[in-house]
Structure 1
Amino acid sequence: MLLRLLTAIENIALWVACIALLVMGALVTGSVLGRSLFNQPIPDDLLMIGLMMVCVIVLPLSYVERGNGHIVVTVIADRLPGFVQKGLRVIGRLIFAAFLGTMGFVIARKIPSEFEQNLYYDGQLEIPTWPMKVIFAFGIAVFLLRLLSNIIQDLRGTLPTAQHTDAG
């Protein structure tokens, strides 16, 4: 039940990231056309594009982790016994969870104060700072849930390993 909910959230997050990527492209196109044709670019276009990169980078993390799609180099690890490989995967996921979890926690702690102080980025549109931090914290939280799920499945021995292909 919880895994199905997590999977649904991951799929929605992936689609939001796709939409953000399309909006980024539209902003770039609109700004270039505005600058070329009317000598007036979209205000704060670079800031908005930079902020949307948060969606494009963070929201799909959990989806990629679900499919074991992260890039890994396992030249030596593939030759080790299965239980050692499982242990290395668990350790790697724990280290990754600690690293990104710390970043997510620090960002999440700043959100209430930034909301209360009504902080915004310098620019014509005065875009508030907190919305993308909420999205970042949400993306990291979903990713941490997927990591926890994969660690549990690894320890139970029910998680399929990533498919490796030999290049060349």
Structure 2
Amino acid sequence: MEKKKWVEPLTRALSWPSRILWVISAAVVLIMALHVLADVILRSFTHQPLPATLEFTAMWWMPLVIFTGLGAAQLGKEHLRVTLFLDGIRGKTRRAAEFISLAVAMTVIGMATVFAFEGALASTQIGETVLSAIAVPVWPIKWVAAFGLAVFMVQLLVSFIEVAAASSAELERLDEADEIFEQMEEEVSG
């Protein structure tokens, strides 16, 4: 139980960027919807599109939604997980498997973060844009992607700390919760 005293404040402190980016992601979804709605209305009444709607949606709005939402999805345990191998194991073996999967995820996302920051820097240096009816700069979004990946990496670290700090009893409760969830899924689908 001693671990719990430091784990919760630490994980809460490390998770605030994910919470902020979740709000930004939600706001961007609203902005994207309004942008597309404006394009549809303009096309309906004037038979002319709103310039660069496709480019802004593809190069700005969608990447913003994706990369600002990664950490929040990890925070809420909402990423898709294939638990085929984890379902049959319990206790310390399950914890070891969780450690390994989180370590692999942190390694891959850590490398992607480094490459994203390098790409953002190169994109900024050349002032990368996409040419359309108007020039749409893409270099700022590359920084958002890099930052979003970094926040995701921190949130994976939080998950790693939570698994490390969980007592055996808590792991057993998680296992029981998984079993109850599986039974509910079988009842619904069967």
Name the TM tier (shorter chain).
0.7 to 0.9
Partner deviation per Cα, 1:92-150 (whole Å, 9 max, x = no partner): 11222222322222121022232222221111331212111111111110110111122
The whole-number CA distance in structure 1 between the counterparts of 2:10 and 2:155 is: 11
TM-score normalised over the length of structure 1: 0.87
Amino acid at match of 1:112: L
Contact kept, 8 Å, 1:93 with 1:147, in 2: the verdict is yes
Q: Which runs of 4+ in 1 moved over 4 A?
A: 158-163
Count residues with an aligned counterpart: 168
Is 1:100 matched up with 2:109?
A: yes
Q: How many Å apart are 1:15 and its aligned residue?
A: 0.8
Is 1:111 matched up with 2:124?
A: no
Contact kept, 8 Å, 2:123 with 2:142, in 1: the verdict is no
The whole-number CA distance in structure 2 between the counterparts of 1:2 and 1:47 is: 40
Amino acid at match of 2:38: G
Distance 1:82 1:2, change over 3 A: closer
Structure 1, unmatched stretches of 5+, are: none
Contact kept, 8 Å, 2:18 with 2:155, in 1: the verdict is no
Q: How many Å apart are 1:83 and its aligned residue?
A: 1.1
The whole-number CA distance in structure 1 between the counterparts of 2:121 and 2:54 is: 26
Distance 1:103 1:151, change over 3 A: same
Amino acid at match of 2:47: N
Q: How many Å apart are 1:10 and its aligned residue?
A: 1.3
Q: Percent identity?
A: 23
Match of residue 49 from structure 2: 41
Amino acid at match of 1:129: V
The whole-number CA distance in structure 1 between the counterparts of 2:87 and 2:151 is: 29
Match of residue 16 from structure 1: 24
- Greater per-residue helix proportion: 2
Highest Rg: 1 or 2?
2
Match of residue 148 from structure 1: 157
Structure 2, unmatched stretches of 5+, are: 1-8
Distance 1:155 1:76, change over 3 A: same
Contact kept, 8 Å, 1:6 with 1:142, in 2: the verdict is no
> Given the alignment, which residue of 126, 140, 156 partners 1:131?
140
TM-score normalised over the length of structure 2: 0.78
CA-based RMSD of the aligned residues comes to: 2.1
Match of residue 3 from structure 2: none
> Given the alignment, which residue of 106, 121, 130 partners 2:130?
121
